[in-house]
Amino acid sequence: MAFTVYLLCAFASLVCAVLLLRGYRATGMRLLFWGALCFSIFVATNSLLFVDLVVFPQLDLAPYRHGFTLVALSLLLYGLIFETQS
């Protein structure tokens, strides 16, 4: 069950990342670029959960996952703060 959920999260993040990247190319809005970057990292962290438990059960990748999540959020926050001026 948990696998399915995290796979779905990874997939949803991938859709967001692709759509935002496409939007960035069409409009040149840098906010969309930071959003795409954030969701790309979400793809990685959600997929990493799978690697963590199934591929290398003896390894604990949790600190990396949390670290990457924080980086992703910071990138989106940067975009929200610096690239929206209204």
Partner 1 sequence: MASESLPPAVAALISRYIRSVEQLEVLLLLHGQPERFWTADEVYDVIRSSRSSVMQRLENFTAEEFLETEPGPPRRFRYAPKAGELRSAVDETATVYQTWRIRVIEAIFAPADPVQSFADAFKFRKT
Partner 2 sequence: MLRPFLFGAISMGCLTIALFFFRFWRQTRDRFFLGFGAAFLLLMVERFIMVTIDATHEFAPFVYVVRLLAFLLIIAAIVDKNRKG
Q: How many residues bind partner 1, per CB under 8 A?
A: 17
Measured distance CA(21)–CA(1) in Å, rounded: 30
23/65 with CB nearer partner 1: 23
Which residues 64-83 are close enough to bind partner 2 by CB under 8 A? Answer: 66-67, 69-70, 73-74, 76-77, 80
| Token code pair at residue 62 | 């949790």
Measured distance CA(75)–CA(49) in Å, rounded: 21
Which residues 21-40 are close enough to bind partner 1 by CB under 8 A? Answer: 22-24, 26-27, 29-32, 35
